[in-house]
Structure 1
Amino acid sequence: MTLIAFIVGVVLLVVGLAASIALHEVGHLVPAKLFGVRVGRYMVGLGPTLWSRRFGETEYGVKLLPLGGYISMAGMYPPAPQTVAATAASRARAGFFASMVQDARAANEETLDGVDRTGTFYALPVWRRIVIMLGGPVMNLLLAMLLFAIVFSGIGVQTATTTIAAVNQCVLPAGSTQTACAAGDPVSPAAAAGIQPGDVIVSVDGTSVQTFEQASAIIQASPNRTIAVVVRRDDVEQTLQVKPLLAQRQIAGPDGTTVTADVGFVGMTAMTDYVNQPLWAGPAAAVQQAGQVVGIMGQLPARVYQTASDMITGAPRDPNGPLSVVGVGRLAGEAAATDAPILNRVATILGLLGSLNLALFVFNLIPLLPLDGGHVVIALWDGLKRAWARLWRRPPPRAVDATKLVPVTFVVVIAIVVMGGILILADIVNPLKIFG
């Protein structure tokens, strides 16, 4: 691999990640402003601020590390029942977690200074709060669908076409290291029937075929039986009689794995080309992969533990296991540096960005603070309390004081940092190997 191509791949992934984070925050920002919430800050990245500028009530900026982002909305939490000054003395008297709650309430009170209640997040109807919090993850899902649509429908999927690339002159035993035909090797059925490179398969055994996969399925199901294969050669259709041999070959199993089976074999390979898929194929693939990501996230602690174990023992990584941003960046660099057509490399990097956006979509829906899913759960709980009060004709209850959950948020953040650190270390010490 060339170093320059590797660096270009990593840079493209980082830029794509930063753009994905920026659009995620736009997904929060736009509905917040539409609903009249005062947004004090819109920041892409974490750490020191590289650039910022205020437009109207909002400060827009870019920070050093493209590993996250946030918008600061007025009144993310309702005012505390009693405003408690988070002085050094009061924090000293309070316990560690109680002090954290105090600080969170103090920070929340600062966002309420000079802001009318109608311009606060907590005062919005429940459905509007949910729309704001889901805006970010939904933006990642839409971006993933767009990227997969570009890959599937814009670039196309590399598919074996019905055009013949090569014809084996003889039949070699399965698993043989032999590369040339010997005197006693049987002639391949394709060569015996007169099939030539460049022929285009029109139909097999009376069935029209549009892909080589369809032709192969009929051939594999027809061992020791003469079938008609119609090919187009020099714009003229010819019917050739082919008798597939019963041979042991590796084929794709029902679950996508490769299995060895006794099937019909004729000895020919097809040319591959980019075949544009229907417009819905990319979004459908994104939704399907999102379901797989949900399964990974549901087992995230166990999978991170397994990744740590593989790192310590030096065992190969699970290709379906979790990766850090470092691991995804490394894959993007390796994809850019592989000796493959440029479209292959572009499609791979776009696919990685699409998968990264799906991970952001699913991860942010986890129903724990500080993630978007945690805020959605709080809004739903608040709405349920209000609905219950209306049902029993009781006064409206106080808004849910989510600052009480700051200790839980702290534990979640620590868990995220620890798991992220393990994955980053594993991606450096024991990286996932896909491109050899």
Structure 2
Amino acid sequence: MEGLIMAAQLLLGLSILVGLHELGHLVAAKVFGMRVEKYSIGFPPKIFGVKVGETEYSIGALPLGGFVKISGMIDESLDTHQLATEPKPWEFRSKPAWQRLIVMLGGIIINVITGIIIFIGLQYFLGDRYFSVDEVNKHGIYVTELGEEIGLQDGDKIIKLNGKEFENFNDARNPNFLLETGSFYTVLRNGKEVDIPIPADFIGRLSDKNVNKNFMDIRIPFKVEKLQQGSNAEKGGLKADDVIVAVNDQPINYLHEFRAVLQSNKNKEVAVKVKRDEGEKLLNIQVDKKGEVGFFIKYLLEPSIKNYSLSESVKLGTVEAFAVITVQLKAFNKIFQGDVSASDSLSGPIGIAQIFGGTWDWVKFWTITGMLSMVLAFMNLLPIPALDGGHVVFLSYEIVSGRPPSDKFLEASQKIGMVLLLCLMVFAFGNDIYKLF
């Protein structure tokens, strides 16, 4: 079931983004009087299609993409038979270069607008919910093996990022911070300030399939909020407001400790000591095959909540959307410098589906879809033939020089670009499959 939910979220997200991207090309083309022959979400073979006016609108069986076919344009279809005749007034090639440039930028512009709107909506309707540094530092952090490798320790209290104080603890794990050259934490440890530098290859190590991605997190004290009806916790006698203090004689102070001991006792009965009212109770509770007992958790840390006006949301949402592009640029820089492996950083459809996760969470869905919209815009702007960015380069050359590249050159470039993209897709799929094992 989790796999189906992952796949459904991936397909819905990509269908929305690809559909809007290609719609951007279509609308721009029609505005300038170009004939659009086909508009498809998904690649052939065609499942369904309907012709409206001069354009056939269809859905393809391969849902990981889409296309528009504009008359008189050398595109991924490599249909060049029209080029042997004189340009018709409705063809792409007969229009001024600036109009053709806008058509090629249409999809990118729509994806940027979509990403910005999604992030504005998330800010306006949800605001920010986070743990402040002051709240987190009541108990400090815990770290996994990778966190220990870079010098962090259980109980550290992060007080500065790159020498500056900060409020939102999420900033300490923000990719923009982790990718910045020379980044470092300042932590309070045993009453002393200690600087912890972030290694240049840290993101690459974090991307390793054998590494726990959550290299550090908040130590959260907790109690039982309420029980799931018919759960093992209820059968074992656990009650709302119980505070779990030990499992199998192992002291429990924080949520991550409790979860770890349950994971190591799947399908076993454990002795759970709880603090209840003024006394303590010892309960025997069965752990299920997922490492759970069945109750809702009440955090004993107070989150900070900020709500924003529409004008504030527009500003913050726009900044957050373009921060995705900044992360991409920093990641590419790390790859080119050799600090990060391309295989560790690149994800295909399987990897993206795993990011969505196996439970349907609309907030997470729209957050990831907004990020993907900005990434799709960025990737399409890369100057690779067969991508929009390749067309943009050739059209910019034509505008500056006053003469277009030859049709043969454009056709050859398109073929080279298609081969490059095909190789990239094969690599991404293969890389995803490798990471599964």
TM-score w.r.t. structure 1 length? 0.59
Alpha-carbon distance, 1:163 to partner: 11
Counterpart pick for 2:379 among 357, 363, 367:
363
Whether the aligned pair in 2 keeps the contact of 1:294 and 1:362 (CA below 8 Å) is no
Alpha-carbon distance, 1:133 to partner: 0.5
Alpha-carbon distance, 1:64 to partner: 1.0
Whether the aligned pair in 2 keeps the contact of 1:75 and 1:112 (CA below 8 Å) is no
Determine helix, strand or coil for the equivalent of 1:119.
coil
- Can you give the 5+ residue segments of structure 1 that lack an aligned partner in the other structure? 79-99, 177-247, 309-316, 338-344, 387-396
Counterpart pick for 2:115 among 119, 144, 153:
144
- The change in CA–CA distance for 1:419 and 1:50 in structure 2 (over 3 A counts) is same
**Residue number in structure 1 paired with 2:368:** 352
Counterpart pick for 2:33 among 22, 31, 36:
36
Partners in 1 of 2:436 and 2:412 — Cα distance?
34
Counterpart pick for 1:420 among 401, 411, 425:
425
- The change in CA–CA distance for 1:252 and 1:55 in structure 2 (over 3 A counts) is farther
**Residue number in structure 1 paired with 2:411:** 406
Partners in 2 of 1:174 and 1:36 — Cα distance?
60
- Can you give the 5+ residue segments of structure 2 that lack an aligned partner in the other structure? 144-154, 163-171, 174-184, 194-219, 222-299
Partners in 2 of 1:431 and 1:303 — Cα distance?
24
1:7 and 2:4 matched: yes
Counterpart pick for 1:272 among 303, 318, 322:
303
Alpha-carbon distance, 1:116 to partner: 6.7
Alpha-carbon distance, 1:173 to partner: 10
Determine helix, strand or coil for the equivalent of 2:50.
strand
**Residue number in structure 2 paired with 1:430:** 435
Whether the aligned pair in 2 keeps the contact of 1:50 and 1:63 (CA below 8 Å) is yes
- The change in CA–CA distance for 1:304 and 1:43 in structure 2 (over 3 A counts) is farther
Whether the aligned pair in 2 keeps the contact of 1:161 and 1:270 (CA below 8 Å) is no
Alpha-carbon distance, 1:19 to partner: 1.2
Alpha-carbon distance, 1:45 to partner: 0.9
Q: Which moved further from structure 2: 296-305 or 374-383? A: 296-305
- The change in CA–CA distance for 1:135 and 1:381 in structure 2 (over 3 A counts) is same
Counterpart pick for 1:324 among 339, 348, 352:
348
Between Structure 1 and Structure 2, how many residues are aligned?
298
**Residue number in structure 2 paired with 1:110:** 82
- The change in CA–CA distance for 1:15 and 1:160 in structure 2 (over 3 A counts) is same
Determine helix, strand or coil for the equivalent of 1:370.
coil
Q: Which has the larger radius of gyration?
A: 1
**Residue number in structure 2 paired with 1:281:** 316
Alpha-carbon distance, 1:382 to partner: 1.6
Identity %: 22
- The change in CA–CA distance for 1:260 and 1:162 in structure 2 (over 3 A counts) is closer
Determine helix, strand or coil for the equivalent of 1:283.
helix
Amino acid at match of 2:188: A
**Residue number in structure 1 paired with 2:258:** none
TM-score w.r.t. structure 2 length? 0.59
Determine helix, strand or coil for the equivalent of 2:156.
strand
Amino acid at match of 1:47: P
**Residue number in structure 1 paired with 2:226:** none
Whether the aligned pair in 2 keeps the contact of 1:293 and 1:358 (CA below 8 Å) is no
- The change in CA–CA distance for 1:290 and 1:163 in structure 2 (over 3 A counts) is closer
Determine helix, strand or coil for the equivalent of 2:302.
strand
Give CA deviations for 1:173-224 in whole Å, capped at 9, x if unaligned. 9989xxxxxxxxxxxxxxxxxxxxxxxxxxxxxxxxxxxxxxxxxxxxxxxx
